[in-house]
Structure 1
């Protein structure tokens, strides 16, 4: 097994490390295989503090420590939404660990009461969307069938359009089914650890070639969190084996006794499994540190500056629930542009989708800032490596073992998004391929080796997210077909009697209104502006995702398939620097680099393709009106073709303008030092804002105007069907 091979390599010392001088003199101790024991190994007669150990102290025996994490008395929750509960949750045994409930909701400061009410009624709105679309879709099929019976022809364009529209809506409807499985109010309390009697934690600090000053600042922040220094260690896992970084951290290792450095050796020809392999190397490295491995593991990315209360906020949830194996905080970003054209802040995910997944028991490991129980990972054979979405796979495999995973909706870390559109695209396409690799390993959620203890919602999440990823290919094809049908010139909606046309228009209008209401209910709690950008981002990312899935997951190498490159979010350095006003490359350079690497020329051609199709359809309508001297006939032609709500071609044009406009008018973000508050005592910089307040941009504002006009247009059509 690969996990055994990894441990063999670790035992042979196949990694370089920099730590405190007395580390190498201490005996190596392997972790216990008994899940009921804490993984803090020490001789039976050990003192409370391990001898010559600068990092961790061992509180009591291993079994006592594990009992601290399991034998928890949970009092009734406070009825108040705010304020501190008078009850404490105190595990029994030596060195009692205590924590306190501060509020009924962990996100009491983020989510407004009326937002919670919207979330509660959202399943009803989703159900209404399904009902209205089923009525509209079914009636159109029936009208097509009646048309065939009357006139004997298939009217191929109409049938193709029905199929194309259905394909485009599959990912949307699949996502809505996930939200339908999360009915009810999510109540995860806001908890805090108290005192210095706290569990031990090994923090795996992963790097992969990011800039050294940024890494050092994050390390300083992590070394100065509000947690006893003898109860946690930070293990720098340098996957790039950067000599400059190793040299730069030496003074910090001398300053902070809980800090260690290691860089694994990558043997040529042996799979190194990207970030998952790097994390596993840190897990193996901790086994040989003084005192042995800690009870808990945590991860931290090189750019993610932790909040001082990070560990104190997450650990109580693991302590109070023996079945909870992992808990994740959201990732927020200090360098997101205020108008965020690429939708990098992923607000819908961190403020809505992940909350609902948490409520249904299918929360993901979000990559950085995560805290989890070490014995669970050990019993799984180590960190799973078959997927580049290593975080997603870890949490799902924990679910498959019968453990719960959770999401804490508090801002406990602030990091950076990729600062270039090129690195952004590489990151998102890697996520897509990783999602499919995860699904393949988990049998797409169907019964199998790694899913035997999963609940139906957990299985459905695996299937749905993989389905939506693979659907990027047919959706991409469908985007091409819609303008092609307009070029063809055949009616997209057919009918036998005027009443059939009226009812198709009425049902279409009701369905479009339902979509709009659903969008409002979905996006208001998570950020309405970002909701508009998220919809556009899905559409303009479809070509990139579809090509990546096809080439990196489906096609064999002899047909053009290739392995996707792994690039950390802060590691790509290029000549663009398009977001910094004083360093930005000129327009000619941007056109050259983005045109080649981002295929901007494709979006220009597609916008022209769509506009040409609509223009041709309008010319046909003008010609019909001129020849028949009947404006009504011309309007009827437009209604059943290019002006049929919701006018997919027009919304696609707006979305596909995003990367084009980005080249000419890239967003500007302030310099790093202008966004940081530096602590004079620690030297660590903390971002001034944990989440950037979003403002309207040109294209998302244009999309909002289009939506308003579409709703009004549907209202006019709806009323008009009753007037004639």
Structure 2
């Protein structure tokens, strides 16, 4: 329980701070300093509608919100010992992770080690067999060597992910906490918008205004980077109802870098300095589509209060409008339920964007919100780590939002993340010692390097995706040997590795869900052309060699024309073929699928010809075993993954309208999502992939047993 301690008063912040480049000019409450006799309520937003260029006319000022009658002061702060914090459970994700899943997750590092140890033996043995083949027959076994290298390159990113996961062998234990009572810290919430639909923004704003938190202890600043007159007008009734709500826009001068989302966030942070009552102790962010849970702040703040070295805590982002079969794997369940939890256990939790809460003084200490990366959230948390502070991940459902409703928006989002990851790594010297990494732990440095390195690896991996089926067209054996014993042992080791690989996938899918894990594996492969091309053109190549800034594909007007997930209003097939098939270069995926199946067909034709020439099926089977039927059949898995965007063009998923997915609170008028996370179902291609993997496992078992018989 709280101890009785004095109320501490923060030193007043001068109200006549000169305006900065990215700040807005306050018309009355900010530009004028009240005399000692004047009463200036800290929650009066009578002048909250602001523009960064000029002051509003007096007629608009007079039409603003009346002064609040609250008596509390925003500048009042409490000693940490005065807060009442209750521990609800030993684990914050007690409602997400079941006890049996928690026990199995602890075994995953051992299974992962076993998988890569087995593959290491298998890979090394194949290299040795190739060397023996060269000594005995004098040839290089060129196709076999190339295939070994290509397969190794494709597995390098997985090896780096596994090394990262192995750095947190101990189970994570973060309690589920709640901050109780009226004595709470002050918070400035920055709600960013940039051209989203106004009704959606208003619902998020209303939800943020109705969280379970004293209204005199937080403020909401709408940071509108679109400077929308329609949004500004639509907010007026809400600002009358909630006097702690502020609107903020900035001018973006052509030719002057405005730093995207990081720029508007910093501009809103600067504004809070000049609001009545001064800045809050804590800052929080919300995206325009992310509807916060009523317990959002009360769930996250206790972790920051308890640990003076903890600077930031982030909740997962879940989505209510994702298709049930989620063909593009937009929900990122593996990241939010497994990888980010593991990163938290090793002290490498990221700022995940929306929903994060962090300490204002730490942000000031690192020089404000970093502006040098499009992954501004990732860079923020990493720089806090570099300054010696901790970051955390709270695995509770505390916000629910929307995935991009078009494949065009999805591709733009993911490629922007890729370039942002590399920009972040560059700013942080790739995790090596430098200005922003001085106080980082080795795990934090390795985390930065791993994500950036694997992003760069999309280029060689994409090239290897083409090399593997190309070798089948070539016609030389992909596995060579000098004795039948070598042949048998290569098949045995391959079979063992494939079976262990599937067992490891079962562990990795806890608790994100097995279906989504399989979908994630497919997305990793079919996104490779987009990621590799974007990294090459938007990060590596100079402009004179074809490099360009990250401005991807089509505009919002094209997305509005598509509406591919609206069953009644979606564009026809011909329009989808043009806008998705051509503009998104899905034709490339179709060509690749044909290339793979053509290569396999050619290999089966050679086997038939061998059987015809030899008069026996055994040489033909041997040919298939060391080529297209070599386990696992990479060409088939790649072809199936590359079919996903092709199938999306012809059979886009259907999602109900946004408001049909809400339950409206009769008291507040807030539309809350009916579910906090979409329950995933099998899609056609995912199910086909699962059947193929099942047949592959049976095939490997038969192959393993058969090597001891024949």
TM-score where L is the length of structure 1 = 0.90
Alpha-carbon distance in structure 1 between the residues aligned to 2:300 and 2:275 = 24
Tell me how far 1:680 sits from its aligned partner: 2.0
Tell me how far 1:356 sits from its aligned partner: 0.5
Residue number in structure 1 paired with 2:54:
none
Residue number in structure 2 paired with 1:73:
none
Counterparts of 1:658-677 in structure 2 under 5 Å? 658-677=644-663
Residue number in structure 2 paired with 1:34:
none
1:127 pairs with 2:135? no
Residue number in structure 1 paired with 2:390:
404
1:299 pairs with 2:285? yes
> 1:576 is matched with which residue: 537, 541, 562?
562
Tell me how far 1:597 sits from its aligned partner: 1.8
Tell me how far 1:130 sits from its aligned partner: 1.2
Alpha-carbon distance in structure 2 between the residues aligned to 1:396 and 1:351 = 20
Residue number in structure 2 paired with 1:85:
none
1:377 pairs with 2:363? yes
Residue number in structure 1 paired with 2:676:
690
Alpha-carbon distance in structure 2 between the residues aligned to 1:185 and 1:521 = 14
Tell me how far 1:50 sits from its aligned partner: 4.8
**Contact preservation (8 Å) 1:224, 1:682:** yes
Q: Secondary structure at the match of 1:11?
A: coil
**Contact preservation (8 Å) 1:624, 1:634:** yes
Tell me how far 1:565 sits from its aligned partner: 2.5
> 1:459 is matched with which residue: 428, 442, 445?
445
1:268 pairs with 2:268? no
Residue number in structure 2 paired with 1:559:
545
Alpha-carbon distance in structure 2 between the residues aligned to 1:702 and 1:228 = 52
Residue number in structure 2 paired with 1:430:
416
Tell me how far 1:575 sits from its aligned partner: 0.7
Counterparts of 1:118-517 in structure 2 under 5 Å? 118-517=104-503
Counterparts of 1:534-683 in structure 2 under 5 Å? 534-565=520-551, 573-683=559-669
Q: Identify unmatched segments of 5+ residues in structure 1.
A: 1-6, 29-42, 69-90
**Contact preservation (8 Å) 1:360, 1:457:** yes
Alpha-carbon distance in structure 2 between the residues aligned to 1:18 and 1:411 = 37
**Contact preservation (8 Å) 2:312, 2:390:** yes
Residue number in structure 1 paired with 2:708:
722
Aligned length: 674
Alpha-carbon distance in structure 1 between the residues aligned to 2:43 and 2:119 = 69
**Contact preservation (8 Å) 1:18, 1:261:** no
Tell me how far 1:558 sits from its aligned partner: 0.6
Tell me how far 1:18 sits from its aligned partner: 8.4
Q: Secondary structure at the match of 1:686?
A: strand
**Contact preservation (8 Å) 1:427, 1:567:** no
Q: For the structure 1 residues 10 and 361, does the alpha-carbon distance in structure 2 shift closer, same or farther, using more than 3 Å as the test?
A: farther
- Listed one character per residue, the Cα deviations across residues 339-381 of structure 1 (whole Å, up to 9, x for unaligned) are 1000001000111110010011000100000000000011111
Q: Secondary structure at the match of 1:574?
A: helix
Alpha-carbon distance in structure 2 between the residues aligned to 1:240 and 1:51 = 25
What root-mean-square deviation, in Å, do the aligned CA atoms of Structure 1 and Structure 2 show? Answer: 2.4
Q: Secondary structure at the match of 2:562?
A: coil
Q: For the structure 1 residues 569 and 508, does the alpha-carbon distance in structure 2 shift closer, same or farther, using more than 3 Å as the test?
A: farther
- Listed one character per residue, the Cα deviations across residues 435-487 of structure 1 (whole Å, up to 9, x for unaligned) are 00001111111111111111111111100011110000000000010111001
Residue number in structure 2 paired with 1:88:
none
Alpha-carbon distance in structure 2 between the residues aligned to 1:608 and 1:224 = 54
Structure 1 stretches (4+) deviating beyond 3 angstroms?
7-10, 12-19, 21-28, 45-62, 566-573
- Listed one character per residue, the Cα deviations across residues 46-97 of structure 1 (whole Å, up to 9, x for unaligned) are 99975968689776977x64x42xxxxxxxxxxxxxxxxxxxxxx1xxxx21
Alpha-carbon distance in structure 2 between the residues aligned to 1:383 and 1:606 = 43
Alpha-carbon distance in structure 1 between the residues aligned to 2:604 and 2:595 = 14
Worse-matched range after superposition: 451-460 or 320-329:
451-460
Alpha-carbon distance in structure 2 between the residues aligned to 1:105 and 1:688 = 25
Alpha-carbon distance in structure 1 between the residues aligned to 2:320 and 2:102 = 26
Alpha-carbon distance in structure 2 between the residues aligned to 1:281 and 1:9 = 14
Alpha-carbon distance in structure 1 between the residues aligned to 2:336 and 2:20 = 41
